[in-house]
Amino acid sequence: MSLCKTLKVSRSGYYHWLCRKPSKREQVNQSIAGVIARVHAETMQVYGSPRMHIELADRGYTVSIGRVARLMSANDLNAKQGKRNKVRQLHRNSIPPVDNILNRQFHADLPNIKWVSDITFIETREGFLYLAVVLDLYSRAIVGWSMSSKIDEQLVQDALTMAVDQRELNSGLILHSDQGSQYKAKYYQLRLQNLGIICSMSRKGECHDNAVAESFFHSLKTELICGTIFRDRLTARQAIFKYIEVFYNRKRRHSTLNYQAPLDFEIMNAA
């Protein structure tokens, strides 16, 4: 055989290699890779090696994070990556209509003492679908959300209604948002006052003042949407509902929470 001569390998050695069974380690790697592939699909392909390593450990598999990373790389199992946005120009000297009471203090020792809210849009072939959320900084859980074809005051009112209906309001609860007209609307502000909720707003152009809400939207668009244009608003609604209520709140491991899911974190740390 010309190839054997070129590589200076005996024909018997070549056929032995060709018929050789996988080693025990190779067999174990194939088995673990199969488990990783299943978990990768179950978690919407959003876990990198750190989260995957913890997920495998929870399922009883003893394997190092380095081995997980190698197996994921060898089998092209990568976490979804979003597109980088261009840096916005910031206006640091603007005077906000409401004080930034939160002041980028994104840690909370108890649930329902610091909430953040924001709005984003999702493209569909039927037109934009707008999503408003209310997020609890204690557990990063989405405690209220609403979707609409209109980006109006009712959108944020409905998200607030869900949050208030699901949660017990603590005295001194802060609700932080940007300076959008929906949040500055007369009846929305009046409702916050009646509920005893303290309003806080980002400075104009300072997206980092509401960084946690922005981070959630980044995760949503990276892990769920990732360049997809939904057929219609109903399809988008169904996908977003499943992402928030089935995956994000209950299953998705959050690095800020020592890789626990938001609602699991609340249960584990309940008084």
Kindly indicate whether the domain formed by 114-268 is annotated with CATH number 3.30.420.10: yes
Mapping DSSP to helix (H, G, I), strand (E, B) and coil, where does residue 152 land?
Answer: coil
Determine the Cα–Cα distance for residues 245 and 250; give it in Å rounded to an integer.
7
Q: Provide the pLDDT for residue 163.
A: 97
CA angle in degrees (0–180, nearest 5) for 90-94-96? 115
> Which residues have C-beta within 8 Å of that of residue 139, sequence separation ≥ 6?
111, 257, 262, 263, 265, 266
Mapping DSSP to helix (H, G, I), strand (E, B) and coil, where does residue 102 land?
Answer: coil
Q: Provide the pLDDT for residue 271.
A: 57
Output the pTM of the full model: 0.73
pLDDT, averaged in runs of 10, over the chain (271 residues): 66 66 76 86 84 87 85 82 51 57 96 97 94 98 97 96 95 95 93 96 89 95 90 96 97 94 94 57
- Report whether 182 contacts 156 (CB < 8 A): yes
Domain locations in the chain as residue ranges: 2-74, 114-268
Determine the Cα–Cα distance for residues 240 and 255; give it in Å rounded to an integer.
21
Determine the Cα–Cα distance for residues 52 and 36; give it in Å rounded to an integer.
7
